[in-house]
Amino acid sequence: MTLAVHDMKIQDHGCLIGGVWQAAAGGEWIEMTDPCDGSILARIARGGAADIDAAVAAARKAQPGFARRPPVERVRLMSVISRRISAEAERLAQLESRDTGKPITQARNDVVAAARFFEFYAGLADKVMGSSIPMGDDIVDFTVREPLGVTAQIVPWNYPLQIACRSIAPALATGNTIVLKPAELACLSVLEIARICEDEGLPPGVLNVVTGLGSEAGAALAAHPGVDLIVFTGSVATGSQVMQAAARNIVPVLLELGGKSPNILLADAAVETTVPVLLKAAFPNSGQTCSAGTRVLVERPILDRVMDQLAGRLPGLTLGRGLDDPDLGPLVSAGQRRKVEGYVTIGAERGRKSSPAAPSSGARPKRAAISCGRRCFRSSRPRPGWRARKSSAPC
């Protein structure tokens, strides 16, 4: 059954702690808005340190029993979850598109990836094997791989569904429990995944979700002494804070932080056929992607041709609401737009030549506060600085 967007009702979404959906201990809520028109989609609980404490306690209580289950049970459970995600693909994709603003085709691809993560790691669950080590004199040592325990997972707003499933699935496959803190800007699809896991028989306390602000719930989770692993995807600045918090408790950390992926064009490149590929690489999810190719290193003999081609093609990119499947949807929030405008201003102040932010050839989002033109800056000095940092922007 697909989600009829115009029939979508505003709902309150609590935290999932120990198998129970509940309001935050502080009783406060955060409004989730549609990036396209600013309408309220839902309210999520504003969880804090008390909710994190409860979620970690629930995860720790559930972990030994979950780890003792026969691995084949985890295989079957994760396979069922994968099939359920696939069965509800269109509903989840529409929700992801409306929550993040990304084009619906990209959201559909995210759902495919989410289902695939559960399918892939289901195949790992009964193949976690140790090794034997002959020591001589009829002595054999052996190793046993054991779950870490409680994993803390902090998920970003740009790919909430895909990245949440990428973190949840391997943790479940290896007998760990989870306390997940999704981004406050976009997390409705993550809550749906938690409900699917619950519906399909995941035991209470194995997957806990605490919504709220990163500075409150996220910081409390990263600093919690009851977690055994922290998985974080986000900015370098926040990643540094997470790592420092983990160090105080001697907890291992997995970080995926911001990048500035360059594409390289040499003088013999076929410019006319390469530029469309550059645009496609630069603007997935409106450039709000850590691996977006928003930096292009071009050999000087073809630089003018490349700039002309980019400037000529940028106005042809359509801009609109994600559900209409444009080339670029709106930025995720007004705050993100202000950040992008800051990069544009810095570029202009430093004398960088740029293509004009031409009007879109498609329908613009109704809420101009979070729409943004597309720009291409030119710089002849390959020094580190603003253009070498992740911008999560269509420029």
Active site residues: 256
345's CB contacts (< 8 A; 6+ apart) are none
Contact 310, 279 (CB under 8 A): yes
Residues, the chain, total? Answer: 395
Chain Cα centroid distance, residue 59: 22
Separation CA 47–CA 24 (nearest Å): 5
DSSP 11-76: EEE-EEETTEEE--TT--EEEEE-TTT--EEEEEE---HHHHHHHHHHHHHHHHHHHHS-HHHHHH
Nearest 5 degrees, angle CA 263-CA 278-CA 261? 35
SS3 208: strand
Contact 66, 206 (CB under 8 A): yes
Q: Around Cβ 302, how many Cβ atoms within 10 Å?
A: 18
